């Protein structure tokens, strides 16, 4: 085929090679995102984009598009894409669900363990040469087993975290838009119809919601004030779901005991941001899905969305499937 595909990062060579076996492919060979001006330029030239989660596909890019028929993101979330406007312009949007949830759940559980038991803090002190004698008292942490985990959202990732937490004999409560009776029966989850009730009871609160108008800053000052002073907040969803200034203040005043953030707002977080230097905060560079296998499989699925559309008129995952008909 003579279709031209623009790939915004070179991070999944197998996916790029697969696209090249069908199409003419141009790759932005940088680890940083292409400037918006480049996206606009390529939207004029290309038939499809394969993008990353931080590439903005907004009205400017969409309006410039002449031949663009499909954008396939190597992600599940699509808050970087103006989905409704793309749909109005007839541009298909694909994503990669059903792949990253187990890796993300592993990572979220790892953050809970690391935060509660102060693992990274202890390791840092060993590296700094501060381990002079056998004295555990500077590193006392909180148990995970038998504690209460509050899940904000129990989609594929949240429910996978619940399965792991059940192995630690945690009491698992959750708040979501709809009640998940099957998970309650399977894992003993307890539904909280009120987010406030969940926040007041949980020892660990883990956020697993997409970023949209309803969830932007869903955890703010009011919500943080409801949490227990010895509780912890974990976020592996999107940075914008938490009011970061309110979180900073809550940590400074010991309103909560600590936080683990795989996502921040903005990303990357500034090196001089107060959160970076807090001993009760763990920040990782948006890597919860970054196992080697998961990264590759998401890339292949993003490529297959494009290949299948142009060869068969189908997609493995489409966020606006009404356009396929």
Active-site option among 238, 254, 279, 312: 238
Active-site option among 177, 267, 296, 312: 267
Give catalytic status of residue 286 as yes or no: yes
The two three-digit tokens of residue 299, written as one number: 């890339």
Give catalytic status of residue 222 as yes or no: no
Which residue, 191, 195, 175, 156, is CA-closest to 77? 156
Active-site option among 74, 164, 175, 286: 286
What are the respective helix, strand and coil percentages of the chain, to the nearest 5?
40, 15, 45
Helix (H) or strand (E) holding 108: helix 101-116
The two three-digit tokens of residue 280, written as one number: 């009760």
Give catalytic status of residue 238 as yes or no: yes
For residue 54, the 8-state DSSP code is T
Question: Beta-strand (E) ranges in the chain?
Answer: 4-7, 24-27, 48-51, 70-73, 92-94, 148-152, 171-175, 190-191, 204-207, 232-235, 258-261, 281-283
Catalytic center residues? 238, 267, 286
């Amino acid at each position: 085929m003579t279709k031209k595909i623009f790939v915004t990062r070179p991070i999944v060579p197998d996916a790029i090679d697969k696209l090249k076996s069908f199409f003419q492919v141009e790759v932005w060979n940088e680890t940083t995102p292409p400037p918006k001006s480049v996206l606009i330029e390529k939207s004029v030239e290309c038939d499809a984009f394969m993008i990353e989660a931080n590439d903005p596909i907004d009205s400017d890019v969409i309006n410039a598009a002449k031949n663009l028929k499909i954008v396939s993101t190597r992600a599940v979330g699509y808050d970087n894409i103006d989905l409704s406007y793309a749909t109005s312009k007839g541009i298909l949007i694909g994503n990669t669900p059903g792949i990253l949830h187990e890796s993300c759940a592993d990572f979220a559980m790892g953050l809970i363990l690391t935060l509660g038991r102060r693992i990274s803090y202890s390791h840092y002190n060993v590296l700094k040469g501060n381990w002079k004698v056998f004295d555990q008292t500077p590193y006392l942490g909180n148990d995970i087993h038998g504690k209460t985990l509050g899940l904000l959202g129990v989609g594929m990732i949240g429910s996978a975290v619940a399965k792991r937490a059940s192995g630690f004999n945690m009491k698992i409560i959750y708040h979501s838009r709809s009640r998940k009776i099957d998970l309650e029966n399977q894992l003993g989850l307890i539904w909280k119809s009120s987010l406030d009730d969940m926040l007041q009871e949980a020892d660990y609160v883990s956020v697993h919601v997409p970023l949209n108008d309803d969830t932007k800053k869903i955890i703010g000052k009011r919500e943080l004030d409801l949490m227990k002073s010895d509780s912890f907040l974990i976020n592996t969803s999107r940075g914008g779901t938490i009011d970061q200034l309110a979180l900073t203040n809550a940590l400074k005043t010991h309103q909560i005991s600590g936080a683990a953030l795989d996502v921040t707002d903005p990303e990357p977080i500034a090196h001089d941001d107060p959160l970076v230097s807090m001993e009760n905060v763990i920040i990782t560079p948006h890597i919860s899905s970054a196992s080697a296998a998961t990264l590759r499989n998401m890339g292949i699925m993003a490529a297959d969305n494009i290949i299948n559309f142009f060869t068969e008129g189908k997609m493995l995952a489409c966020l606006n499937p009404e356009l396929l008909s």
